[in-house]
Amino acid sequence: MSYYGARNRLTKLMLEKMDNDNFLSQIDHNLWYIIPDLDQLTSIQHCFVQFNEDLQTKNFLDNCIEKSEHFFTQLLHSFVLSFLQYFMAITSINGLLQRGSMFVFSEDQFKNLIDFRGENKLTNLLDLGAGDGEVTSKMAPFFQNVYTTEMSTTMRWRLQHKGFQVVEVNEWDKIRSGSGEDSFVKFDAISCLNLLDRCDKPLSLLKQMKKALKPNGLLIVALVLPYKPYVEYNPDNKPSEDLLEVWSPGFCVNNEPCKMNKVNKQIKHLIENVFEPIGFELTKFTRLPYLCEGNLAQSYFYLIDYVFIFKNK
């Protein structure tokens, strides 16, 4: 590419980023937190918690915008990513470059969701698929011990650097607290944030988490809805188990036609046909933006997360 061609390409990239960021600046952030047609979810409507953009969320977005202004750093990351993606998973590359951190909820929002009122910390938290630990850090202040799992080697480095205990992805339910036969650690809470739609066997994982939780322990689940599973480490990117495999989009219960919107149908199905039969009772749920640091194209990215708090019955 000639000098002028390269310069024109850079100019085009900068203009595209300006357009994308201008679009982001016009979004009404209040809409991120509102469930359309909430009254359709009659049986669980009382469990819904309405949040708004708070200071910690705003600070994350401001930091995303500031980092995205470092144009040549973003350009370097883009070149490295385009080369390494032939040898490494995107998650591992992000860990190596310390980019692409996520944000699900603030400390205050999490405190509200788990109904934490006392000064005494809970004992054990397990965060499955913890990534670089940025989301874990919002939960950690409420627990004495924080265990994490992560498949990506570079992300495991990041978690260890932040001081979190990293356990093997196939060994987290075998952590010992002593030498006796019944000395396996039981968790006060297990977080499974944006993982069920990214793992191979989500149903098996849910049953495994139930066994590892204390009685009345909390299961914290975040899901992007509508549900679109994608398994990064499978050749066809499809899971072996599908949470919606028995779901019929045109009907709800007893084949009665249902006029619910697609997301509300999926929420109803997941609670009634997945979580409750396994033994989880919904206590709270909310709708939050699932935020990610941006790149050369725009300052940040977002999806809509539905966060559910279940009690282990």
Q: Is 53 exposed, middle or buried (0-12, 13-18, 19+ CB in 10 A)?
A: middle
pLDDT digits (tens, 9 = 90+) for 26-69: 999 999 999 999 999 999 999 999 999 999 999 999 999 988 77
- CA 9 – CA 13 distance, rounded (Å): 6
Window from 3-17, 61-75, 102-116 with minimum mean pLDDT:
3-17
Output 238 or 189, whichever has higher pLDDT.
189
Class of domain 30-243+282-313: alpha beta
Question: What is the per-residue pLDDT for 182?
Answer: 65
The helix/strand/coil state of 232 is coil
pLDDT digits (tens, 9 = 90+) for 207-259: 999 999 999 999 999 999 999 999 877 888 889 998 887 544 544 544 444 56
- CA 161 – CA 76 distance, rounded (Å): 24
Q: Which residues contact 279 (CB under 8 A, 6 or more apart)?
A: 210, 312, 313
**Could you tell me the pTM of the whole model?**
0.86
Residue with tokens 């997360």, as numbered in its chain: 305
Q: Which two tokens stand for residue 101?
A: 């951190």
4 has a pLDDT exceeding 60 = no
**Could you count the other beta carbons within 10 Å of the beta carbon of residue 28?**
7
